Amino acid sequence: MTKLKLQNLTGMRDILPEDQVYLKKINKAVESITNYYSFKRIDTPILEQAEVFAKGTGATTDIVEKEMYTFRTKGGDMVALRPEFTSGIVRSYIEHGMYNLPQPVKLWTMGPCFRHERPQAGRYRQLLQFDIEALGDTSPSIDGQIIQMCYDILKDLSFKNINIEVNSIGDQECRPYFKKTLTTYFRSKKSSLCNDCQRRLKENPLRILDCKEEKCQRVKSGAPQIIDHLCEACHAHFKQVLEFLDELELPYTLNPYLVRGFDYYTKTVFEIIEKSEAGEAQGSLVGGGRYDGLVKLLGGRSTPAFGAAGGVDRILNVMKTKELKVDKNKEETEIFLAQLGQFAKKRSLKLFEEFRTAKIPVAESFSKDSLRTQLKTADKMGIRWVLIFGQKEALENFITLRDMKTGVQTEIKLDKVVGEMKEKVSK
């Protein structure tokens, strides 16, 4: 009988210790910039009523039709693992009466989302995202601010060759007319579209612009552009967004076929693209846009809003592949405490607490008794300073410091050791 091999489900992954340093760096960059701009953290449930996402993202989107993890509970409720953050945050905004707070309400979060799609490099079925949302402001300055924040997060993570792609997809005033124009064009090219896009032609022709199939990309390149069909209000809004980007000196390109994958978007949409050395787009790292109708759609008051989400997995993979700078020295411990004998081990617990209070990380190997084994462990970890605490040291209140680089050993009084080691590791 073959032994069952247990392993990760397709599209799931373990974030191993060696990747955690990158994850911590990304989290720190997001938290630093969102705090600076006075965005407050919110955490919504991973599990929501399926209707939150079906109504929010749109019934004809790929997420709802193909990718959402849904199931019925024992009580008969249809629920879904969240495929994105915005709809859940809007539900929370409505449920907790956040429209009574000073507007805009500025929120951010980070965590796992779930989409049943074909796994590929940097894309998993359990994916990590960071998310930034501002609800309750119509001003184009909010659009510009959040785009800048996303750009700055990537710059703080040492990304260099990135560019913002931006477009306006209009609103309920001008988009219906454009949809008719677009439908007329795609009907004349119907035989050249993929099967999914032939179906989308009836349901929502804008979704065709988001198709990644090569044959549809060729057809799309000749399609009418929505920017030529914007109403006066949408045109004025988009013009001001571009003026903000110019003022901020952010590198951007107008992409007239950028629509994003959710139905809730209105007016401004954007993506931040990484480019290769040859200048070719390598994939989107961050994307988002304005969603002025979503709060009302989910049962709240009419509330303008703008948001963005970043693909943490893809960002992490690029950082690893390109070996983008991560300050690993601060993550690595520079001191190792070797203890010999039960008496020394017991006394060293208090010493560990003193180092923790002083915020000095110290590595150890409590389970090992042999000094030789512990020194080998310290050497493998690349640690320079080893504190040796044995029976004699414990009885006479001193510690032996070994410099692994030179082999030189010195004695330090026990009550002075934390202060002296703090000076050494801070140099």
Domain with 246 in it: what CATH number? 3.30.930.10
* pLDDT > 90 in the chain, percent: 50
Res 187: pLDDT = 86
Same domain assignment for residues 376 and 250: no
How many structural domains does the chain have? 2
* Interatomic CA distance for residues 252 and 393, integer angstroms: 64
Question: Where among 301, 321, 341 does a domain terminate?
Answer: 321
Question: Where among 272, 287, 321 does a domain terminate?
Answer: 321
Tens digits of residue pLDDT in 3-12: 678 898 988 9
Residue 389: which CATH number? 3.40.50.800
Residue type, 389: F
Q: What is the pTM of this model?
A: 0.81
Q: Is there a binding annotation on residue 85?
A: yes
Q: Is there a binding annotation on residue 84?
A: yes
Q: Is there a binding annotation on residue 264?
A: yes
Q: Is there a binding annotation on residue 274?
A: no
- Is 224 within a domain? no
Question: Where among 300, 321, 342 does a domain terminate?
Answer: 321
Q: Is there a binding annotation on residue 91?
A: no
Q: Is there a binding annotation on residue 133?
A: yes
- Is 218 within a domain? no
- Is 412 within a domain? yes
Mean pLDDT of 271-294: 83
Tell me the residue range of the domain where 341 lies.
Answer: 333-419
Q: Is there a binding annotation on residue 129?
A: yes
Same domain assignment for residues 280 and 368: no
| Band of residue 145 on the pLDDT scale cut at 50, 70, 90 | very high
Tens digits of residue pLDDT in 27-69: 999 999 999 999 999 999 999 999 999 888 876 677 777 789 9
